[in-house]
Amino acid sequence: MRRGLVVVAVLAACLSAGALAATPPGVPVHADLKGSVVVPTKGSRTGSGRIVIRLSGKTGKACWAITTRNIGKALSAHVHRGLPGKTGRVVIPLGDTYLRQGCVSLSKNVINAVAAAPGNYYVDLHTRTYLNGALRGQLHRGP
């Protein structure tokens, strides 16, 4: 009986370590994406989405995963510097064309700035129908 419990405990530890190893390193930030907060014009009325970005100063990378609903074909997505209701310049291009997930190399200054104050940045996702932005969301700490 004891040996069976030890085997189960070892297997559980290995599975947990494997799950941790599969998680990309870095500081997680996220945004819930909505069309109603796109500026200067409103985006999709029915679309929604979520993005999680892991920012790693150690590797110099930002890795992301985006999920969307009801927006049609996405063309591109970016992280911009800007507070809610304001527009700003792109600081993290999330691929040359739209990628649901991926990684991009960045300067450590950009990574550290976004990780330190994610609320100063937003994600904007573009489609052919909504060239100025279909979805937008302010970044927050956490996955």
pLDDT at 103: 95
What pLDDT was estimated at residue 21? 38
Number of domains in the chain: 1
pLDDT at residue 143, as a whole number:
85
pLDDT < 50 stretches in the chain: 1-23
Q: To which H or E segment does residue 105 belong? A: strand 101-105
55 is a domain residue: yes
Q: Can you tell me whether residue 8 is helix, strand or coil?
A: helix
Residue 101 lies in a domain: yes
* List of residues 6+ apart from 79 with CB closer than 8 A: 53, 62, 90, 91, 92, 94, 114, 121, 122, 123, 139
Q: How far apart are CA 102 and CA 75, in angstroms?
A: 15
Within-domain flag for 17? no
CA-nearest of 65, 112, 110, 76 to 91 is 110
Range of the domain at 42: 26-141
